[in-house]
Amino acid sequence: MPEIELGVPRGVVESLPEDDETAERDMRRAIASIQSRLNEEIDGTDPAEAAGIVADAVERMETQASTYHEFVPELRAWGQSPIYAIAWRNLYVELIGQLHDHDWLADHLDRERSFRIVEDGIRLSDL
């Protein structure tokens, strides 16, 4: 099975202040860690089983993105720039998209995510 490859999206990097390379470096480390962990966990599994592992990671990324999204209005209310919260939120959203871009994984991941929605008792009509 092919490995998962993730990268820092150009738009996210370009949204960061030019004089601060720390955030970009931190993002690259976070992505390398996520990629490494996912590849270790899916090694030797079939695509359907790998989709369950990746779906767990996607749920964590959605939670992270939501947390950063909630910081934006709070930072603005305190007169602070929300640029880093926005960049990290966008990073996690982009990573989820990158995971769906893996052809061998996309259909299995969609099925797993749909199964989890139904299993939790949530119907699409409830959304």
Cβ atoms of 72 and 36 closer than 8 Å = no
What pLDDT score does 120 carry? 64
For residue 3, being part of any structural domain is answered with no
pTM: 0.85
Structural domain contains residue 24 = yes
CB of 28 closer than 8 Å to CB of 12? no
Angle between helices 83-100 and 47-77 in degrees, nearest 10: 160
Residue that wins the pLDDT comparison between 30 and 106: 30
Number of neighbours of residue 80 by Cβ within 10 angstroms: 12
Q: Is residue 4 part of a domain?
A: no
**Residue 63 structural domain:** 10-126
- Rounded to whole angstroms, the Cα distance separating 35 from 110 reads 19
Number of domains comprising the chain: 1
Q: Is residue 1 part of a domain?
A: no
- Residue 112 domain-assigned? yes
Average pLDDT over residues 10-30: 91
pLDDT at 71: 94
Report the run of H or E that residue 107 belongs to, with start and end. helix 103-119
Can you read off the two tokens belonging to residue 126?
């409830």
Domain presence at residue 2: no
In the chain, the amino acid numbered 77 is A
CA distance 108 to 105: 5
Q: Residue 96 falls within a domain, yes or no?
A: yes
Task: Give the rounded percent of residues in the chain with a pLDDT score beyond 70.
Answer: 92
Whether 42 has a pLDDT exceeding 90, the answer reads: yes
